[in-house]
């Protein structure tokens, strides 16, 4: 029997806990980025290490998925490929951050945070999530305001705080879906 699109979306939300493993891993990544931006090294070196931190998100989220019992690949659901496409799309926007890297290095982290927040919007549809929808809009604006007015370390700590709130909100949203 063929599942409807809404059943497939529900399956993704349940088996992947609405991407909670990736958001939890992001907390660690943003903490590492904050520490890097507090170090007494050049901004270009900080930005290089920031890219390294971003690169370990996927392996770290895989480890977290094992800890919280998430089906990381969910191969039985064809919408999983769509979720991967949503993530890969973000990589294309990283070209903007790569351009910013040597051009306006003190604003690169702000651009990364804006890209991260904006890329969440399609997940609001995939996971049927108001949390993703709200934060996909709020994060870019918060990142812009903090990024324009404060040091990158403050932005990284703010992003870490947002990710903690995001995680708590996803846990609550996941509990509601389980009750249904």
Angle CA(71)–CA(83)–CA(168) in degrees, nearest 5?
A: 65
Q: What is the pLDDT of residue 1?
A: 66
Specify the number of domains making up the chain: 1
DSSP H stretches of helix in the chain: 5-15, 20-38, 43-55, 57-67, 79-103, 108-118, 121-126, 130-149, 152-179
* Alpha carbons 160 and 38: distance in angstroms, whole number: 14
Provide the domain limits for residue 174. 5-179
3-class SS of residue 18: helix
Cα torsion angle, 168, 63, 77, 88, sign: positive
Tens digit of each residue's pLDDT, the chain (180 residues): 678 999 999 999 999 999 999 999 999 999 999 999 999 999 999 999 999 999 999 999 999 999 999 998 888 999 988 888 888 888 889 999 999 999 999 999 999 999 999 999 999 999 999 999 999 999 999 999 999 999 999 999 999 999 999 999 999 999 998 887
Q: What is the pLDDT of residue 89?
A: 85
């Amino acid at each position: 029997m063929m599942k409807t699109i809404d059943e497939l979306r529900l399956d993704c939300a349940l088996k992947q806990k609405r991407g909670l493993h990736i958001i939890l891993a992001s907390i660690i990544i943003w903490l590492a980025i904050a520490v890097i931006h507090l170090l007494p090294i050049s901004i270009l070196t900080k930005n290089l290490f920031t890219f390294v931190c971003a690169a370990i998100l996927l392996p770290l989220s895989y480890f977290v998925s094992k800890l919280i019992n998430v089906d990381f690949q969910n191969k039985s659901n064809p919408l999983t490929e769509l979720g991967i496409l949503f993530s890969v799309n973000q990589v294309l926007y990283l070209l903007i951050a790569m351009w910013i890297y040597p051009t306006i290095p003190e604003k690169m982290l702000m651009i990364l945070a804006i890209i991260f927040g904006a890329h969440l919007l399609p997940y609001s549809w995939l996971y049927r999530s108001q949390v993703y929808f709200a934060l996909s809009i709020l994060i870019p604006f918060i990142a812009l305001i903090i990024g324009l007015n404060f040091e990158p370390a403050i932005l990284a700590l703010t992003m870490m705080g947002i990710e903690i709130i995001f995680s708590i909100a996803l846990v609550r949203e996941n509990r509601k879906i389980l009750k249904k």
